[in-house]
Structure 1
């Protein structure tokens, strides 16, 4: 299965920006089930310098600086990806129980297990806490298969929280998200990660895109898709297994990965520093995910 993703980010400023430095995580990475066939990134005004690098987590990072005075900055990224169609979800009753997993994690010298343990640590936007552990503890009973518990926990968040882009911001702390019982995909991914780390399970933040399909008989709106966030947990023999609490699913072919890290701050689509620009700015984002077969 092949996809084309176009992600356009546009900033408008009150007064001209004289200089800006930026880093973008907008170029999809390769995974076991995904291959980025090609990608391009166009910036206007034209950068005086630009460079693609690989960050600590293996993500593609694009650095650029613009020195021409500008009141509008546009970053236009087009990527084509190939997604495996033979993805088989694991049997939820297989693998270790919650207690068996934690016991194994404590003593295993496996390189993969040792590497996964860094995703137990607090990160800039996620800190373990008793309240987060308490929210999830009833799901993760000692004798429950961990995979099954993770799937139930995904459903718990989906059922008990309301998707509402008006109740949180990118900086809303997790204790507030827990009280508000609402937010967006980033909040739900952060909440799940915080709860799981608080219980001792290594969990990482996944960033990318989700193909959305129009209602039957309706045209798909160009630019109506969006960036998306979910989480993954490391399991022996299976690797990193993904869960999407916003949609109560285990991702397969419709989740396209851009980057992963400890939390959103590691994989922010675009961040940087500007000089001048006035006291306000407006941001608009357009994302379009298309199956290439549908274009033929």
Structure 2
């Protein structure tokens, strides 16, 4: 696996309306953030058509960059393009010294002995989309040994959810509750992530929701299809003051690598939905989203003549 990959990313969102929209107010959460040491955002630009009458960029509570805009003239279509260049560096936290056990991390969060632990503590509570419950805790305890390394235990739970749940894009939708997905044992990346976070928080482990992109690789001998990559979601677990937040992907049964490009973090999907807003008018709406994640071919260094 390469130690570092740089990507050019284009995320295109198109709305078409059957009737003119008089006014629309929207927020975007699509700008990747630099999160050392694993992610560096080299550049990011946003284009909006029609051109907004008002636009503002600001960080939200979780540190995500939000583009808020208003279009105040009649329009029958809205096109948003977010273009980024991001470098993703591979890290292997499993080689780090001093990884806490599950029990040690739970105790550290309970007692709050340093500032980092205190800030992480807010992620052990229920959030609008993710409840807590004894059934979530028992499901996790059946997989995770509290005396095991935290990272090993979380990876075991990640793989177990992947095996126990069926990936089925028809089983759920964006409004499906975490409890319903848990009972169905089916869903998509949003559902897998919400369920795993519910399990971890119910044990007293801080966990948060991550939105981003997943580079998809074509079959051998086939060309890469432009726009065929995906928006994705996974989870991040707090592993103590030294290690910080470590990401795992229950949909793909792994600790994330250089094929994952994180964008935003929050308590659950409601905190990081890529685009949300209100419109006045519009009638029936058609939405089309296209994501392209292209590795940058860096120039090969040429040495001096022999």
Report the CA distance between 1:65 and its aligned residue. Answer: 0.7
Report the CA distance between 1:113 and its aligned residue. Answer: 0.3
Report the CA distance between 1:154 and its aligned residue. Answer: 0.3
**Structure 1 Cα separation of the partners of residues 146 and 94 of structure 2:** 20
Deviations along 1:132-186, one digit per CA (max 9) or x if unpaired, are 2222121223322221110000000111111111111111011110121111111
**Structure 2 Cα separation of the partners of residues 261 and 174 of structure 1:** 16
2:267 equivalent to 1:262: yes
2:213 equivalent to 1:209: yes
**Structure 1 Cα separation of the partners of residues 17 and 204 of structure 2:** 44
Report the CA distance between 1:76 and its aligned residue. Answer: 0.7
User: Structure 2 residue aligned with 1:178, among 174, 179, 182?
Assistant: 182
**Structure 2 Cα separation of the partners of residues 102 and 36 of structure 1:** 32
**SS of equivalent to 1:177:** helix
* Equivalent position of 1:101 in the other structure: 105
* Equivalent position of 1:162 in the other structure: 166
Report the CA distance between 1:106 and its aligned residue. Answer: 1.5
**Structure 1 Cα separation of the partners of residues 230 and 246 of structure 2:** 22
**Structure 2 Cα separation of the partners of residues 105 and 217 of structure 1:** 49
* Equivalent position of 2:40 in the other structure: 35
Q: Judge conservation of contact 1:94–1:147 (CA < 8 Å) in 2.
A: no
**SS of equivalent to 1:27:** coil
User: Structure 1 residue aligned with 2:81, among 76, 90, 104?
Assistant: 76
- Give the number of aligned pairs: 294
* Equivalent position of 2:60 in the other structure: 55
**Structure 2 Cα separation of the partners of residues 36 and 123 of structure 1:** 29
User: Structure 2 residue aligned with 1:26, among 30, 40, 44?
Assistant: 30
Q: Judge conservation of contact 1:203–1:231 (CA < 8 Å) in 2.
A: yes
* Superposition TM-score, scaled by structure 2 size: 0.92
**Structure 2 Cα separation of the partners of residues 75 and 189 of structure 1:** 27
**SS of equivalent to 2:156:** helix
Deviations along 1:98-157, one digit per CA (max 9) or x if unpaired, are 222222222232100000001112111111122222221212233222211100000001
2:222 equivalent to 1:218: yes
**SS of equivalent to 1:288:** strand
User: Structure 2 residue aligned with 1:9, among 3, 8, 13?
Assistant: 13
Report the CA distance between 1:81 and its aligned residue. Answer: 1.1
Q: Judge conservation of contact 1:10–1:73 (CA < 8 Å) in 2.
A: yes
Deviations along 1:243-289, one digit per CA (max 9) or x if unpaired, are 000111111211111110111111110000111111x3121110000
**Structure 2 Cα separation of the partners of residues 174 and 79 of structure 1:** 31
Q: Judge conservation of contact 1:92–1:145 (CA < 8 Å) in 2.
A: no
**Structure 2 Cα separation of the partners of residues 34 and 142 of structure 1:** 30
User: Structure 2 residue aligned with 1:115, among 116, 119, 122?
Assistant: 119
User: Structure 2 residue aligned with 1:190, among 185, 190, 194?
Assistant: 194
**Structure 2 Cα separation of the partners of residues 248 and 94 of structure 1:** 24
**Structure 2 Cα separation of the partners of residues 93 and 177 of structure 1:** 36
* Equivalent position of 2:304 in the other structure: none
Report the CA distance between 1:89 and its aligned residue. Answer: 3.6
Q: CA RMSD for the aligned pairs? A: 1.7
- Could you tell me which runs of 5 or more consecutive residues in structure 1 were left unpaired when the two chains were aligned: none
Q: Judge conservation of contact 1:57–1:260 (CA < 8 Å) in 2.
A: yes
**SS of equivalent to 1:293:** coil
Deviations along 1:17-52, one digit per CA (max 9) or x if unpaired, are 110000000111110121111111111111101111
**Structure 1 Cα separation of the partners of residues 195 and 299 of structure 2:** 38
Q: Judge conservation of contact 2:21–2:279 (CA < 8 Å) in 1.
A: yes
Q: Judge conservation of contact 1:93–1:148 (CA < 8 Å) in 2.
A: no
* Superposition TM-score, scaled by structure 1 size: 0.95
Q: Identify which range, 66-75 or 98-107, moves more after superposition.
A: 98-107
